[in-house]
Structure 1
Amino acid sequence: MEVILKEDVANLGHRGDVVKVADGYGRNFLLPRKLALQATLANKAVIEQMKEAAARRSATEKVQAQELVAKLETVSLSFTRKSGENGQLFGSVTSGDIASELAAKGYEVDRRKIQLNEPIKSLGDFTVSVKLHREVTGHLSVHVAADASQEVAEPVPAPAVAD
């Protein structure tokens, strides 16, 4: 089945590309989610107009992404988490945590654009990639520190109970 992509699809193609896919993938995934159109003659004519509009939209999105990356390069995020003795976190810092912290600072970034191979599970400084456009990638500085209220206290002995 040949389809025309309406949006960028990972490992398949970019907006406006005509690609050949398995019938089931096209019918059950791409078409219902409105990620693609069937490649008919009428749709191919419409797609040319969509390509021109997409090129203009992509250019403006790229400029906006470059402006946001310039602002994000100066941002440093700090997280405090409970941790064990060897610096391993109880829990983790995820892309959702980073996105919510950026939103608190006034930067709207979708969590899916924050590229963490796996959640951060240890203390320290990390550099996190943010892919805002297919040609524009920025980097954030993330610092994970131990929770200060996590001091190790001596266990208090239980009061003796008289029998």
Structure 2
Amino acid sequence: MEIILLQDVERLGSKDDVVSVKDGYGRNFLIPQKKAIVATESAKKILAENIRQRAHKEAKLKEEATKLAEQIVAKKISIGAKTSTSGKIFGSVNTIQLAEALSKKGFEIDRKQISIPEDSIKEVGTHKAVIKLHKEVKIEIEFEVVAE
């Protein structure tokens, strides 16, 4: 029996895969649990159209992320922090402060998309961070931590 998977099934396949399974497994387990549908000709056509449309949307999102990445790299980002006389920061600078600094520049980026290679930044100076705008678009930006 040929079926189209509606979600990932361990040791069988990923979502939208067309796979062959034994009749009982498909009819008694996968289809009743809404993990698959029978792969009729019309279902295969619908699947092909959905995959085509999803690919088009994905290409558009990737293009937008690439444009945004070019704009972010062009900006200079600085974060103010309270420091001691020796240049050590009280507390630390993390992704939340970096996301706020980016929003002040006009870029709405979620802090979960930002990763700082060091655990936490505790000194004034220039540091690097990686921003994941899309699953295929990652950029590395430099930002400066300055004393307030």
Tell me which interval the TM-score lies in, with the shorter structure as reference length: 0.5 to 0.7
Aligned-residue CA RMSD (Å): 2.9
Query: Is contact 1:72-1:139 (8 Å) kept?
Result: no
Give, in angstroms, the shift of residue 70 of structure 1: 0.7
Per the normalisation by structure 1, the TM-score is 0.60
CA distance in structure 2 between the partners assigned to 1:62 and 1:73 by the alignment: 16
Q: Deviations over 1:36-88 (max 9, x none)?
A: x9521159x46655433321111001100110111111112112212245533
| Number of matched pairs | 119
Name the stretch that deviates more: 114-123 or 59-68: 114-123
Q: Deviations over 1:6-52 (max 9, x none)?
A: xxxxxxxxx9466xxxxxxxxxxxxxxxxxx9521159x46655433
Structure 1 position 112, deviation (Å): 1.3
Query: Do structure 1's residue 145 and structure 2's residue 141 form an aligned pair?
Result: no
Query: How far did residue 142 of structure 1 move?
Result: 0.8
- Look up the match of 1:100: 100
Secondary structure in 1 matching 2:131: strand
Find the counterpart in structure 2 of residue 80 from structure 1: 80
In 2, the alpha carbon distance for the partners of 1:49 and 1:121 equals: 52
Q: Secondary structure at the match of 1:101?
A: helix
Distance 1:74 1:135 in 2: 20
**TM-score between both structures, scaled by the size of structure 2:** 0.65
* CA distance in 1: counterparts of 2:100 and 2:38, whole angstroms: 43
Distance 1:16 1:71 in 2: 35
Residue 70 of structure 1: aligned partner? 70
Question: Are positions 1:41 and 2:37 aligned together?
Answer: yes
For structure 2, the residue ranges without an aligned partner over 5 or more in a row are: 9-13, 18-32
Aligned-residue identity in percent: 27
Tell me if structure 1 keeps the 8 A contact 2:89–2:124. yes
Q: Using the alignment, how far apart are the partners of 1:42 and 1:100 within structure 2?
A: 49
Q: Which amino acid aligns with 1:103?
A: S
Q: Which residue of 2 aligns with 1:59?
A: 59
